[in-house]
Structure 1
Amino acid sequence: MTPEPPARTRQAPTLEAVAELAGVSRATVSRVVNGSLRVSPAAHAAVTRAIAELGYVPNQAARSLVTRRTDTIVLIVHERPDTVFADPFFASVLRGVNQALSVTQLQLVLLQVQGDRQRDRALRYVGNGHVDGVLLISLHGDDIMPMSVSGAGVPLVMAGRLLTGDPVDSVDADNVGGARQAVRHLVATGRRELATVAGPVDMSVGVDRLAGYAQAARDAGLPASATRVETGDFTEASGQAAAARLLAEHPTIDAVFAASDLMALGVLRALRAAGRRVPDDVAVVGFDDAAPAVYADPPLTTVRQPVERLGAEMVHQLLRRIADPTGDAASVILPTELVIRSSA
Structure 2
Amino acid sequence: MAHTLESIAKLAGVSRGTVSRVINGQPGVREEVRKKVLAVIREHQYQPNMQARGLAGGKTENIGVVVFGLTSSFLSHHIFYEVIQGIQEHVASRAYDLLLFADRRPYDREYWRTIADKRKIDGLIVMGEDIQDEYLQYYYDKQLPFVLVGKRLASDIPLHCVTSDYRDGVNNAVTHLIAGGRKRILYISGYSGTYHESKRYEGYCDAHRQAGLPVDSRLTVAGDAEEQSAYEVVRQLLRDGEAFDAIFAANDIMALGAVKALQEHGLRVPEEIAVVGYDDIAAARYANPSLSTVRQDKSGLGEAAARMLLSRLSGELDPTTSHDIYIANKLIVRSSS
Q: TM-score, normalised by structure 1?
A: 0.82
CA deviations 1:243-296 (Å, max 9, x no partner) are 223333454211111111111121122222222211111111111112121111
- Give 1:152's aligned amino acid: K
**Which moved further from structure 2: 184-193 or 314-323?**
314-323
For residue 248 of structure 1, the aligned residue among 228, 239, 251 is 239
Three-state SS of the structure 2 residue aligned to 1:233 is coil
**Which moved further from structure 2: 63-72 or 271-280?**
63-72
Matches within 5 A, 1:115-154: 118-140=108-130, 143-154=133-144
Measured after TM superposition, the shift of residue 28 of structure 1 is 7.3
Distance 1:206 1:83 in 2: 21
For residue 303 of structure 1, the aligned residue among 276, 294, 299 is 294
For residue 155 of structure 1, the aligned residue among 113, 122, 145 is 145
How many correspondences in the alignment? 331
**Which moved further from structure 2: 249-258 or 330-339?**
249-258
Distance 1:284 1:41 in 2: 65
**Cα distance change, pair 120–26 in 1 and its aligned pair in 2 (3 A):** closer
**Which moved further from structure 2: 50-59 or 287-296?**
50-59
**Cα distance change, pair 161–41 in 1 and its aligned pair in 2 (3 A):** same
| Structure 1 unaligned spans of 5+ | 1-9
For residue 223 of structure 2, the aligned residue among 216, 232, 242 is 232
- Give 2:116's aligned amino acid: V
| Structure 2 unaligned spans of 5+ | none
2:175 is the counterpart of 1:190: no
For residue 8 of structure 2, the aligned residue among 15, 23, 42 is 15
CA deviations 1:193-233 (Å, max 9, x no partner) are 10111121221111111111111112212223387111123
CA deviations 1:2-60 (Å, max 9, x no partner) are xxxxxxxx66596359859xxx9998765443234778999988877775565332233
For residue 329 of structure 1, the aligned residue among 319, 322, 325 is 322
2:43 is the counterpart of 1:76: no
**Which moved further from structure 2: 304-313 or 179-188?**
304-313
CA contact (8 A) 1:232 1:238 kept: yes
CA contact (8 A) 1:80 1:114 kept: no
CA contact (8 A) 1:87 1:262 kept: no
Matches within 5 A, 1:30-69: 30-36=20-26, 54-64=44-54, 66-69=56-59
CA contact (8 A) 2:70 2:130 kept: no
CA contact (8 A) 1:87 1:235 kept: no
- Give 1:335's aligned amino acid: A
Measured after TM superposition, the shift of residue 80 of structure 1 is 3.4
- Give 1:213's aligned amino acid: Y
- Larger Rg, first or second structure (1 or 2): 1
Distance 1:179 1:227 in 2: 19
Distance 1:208 1:101 in 2: 30
**Cα distance change, pair 207–128 in 1 and its aligned pair in 2 (3 A):** same
CA contact (8 A) 1:32 1:39 kept: yes
Q: TM-score, normalised by structure 2?
A: 0.84
**Cα distance change, pair 226–162 in 1 and its aligned pair in 2 (3 A):** closer
2:184 is the counterpart of 1:203: no
Distance 1:105 1:15 in 2: 24
- Give 2:274's aligned amino acid: A
Once the two structures are aligned, what percentage of the paired residues are identical? 32
2:325 is the counterpart of 1:317: no
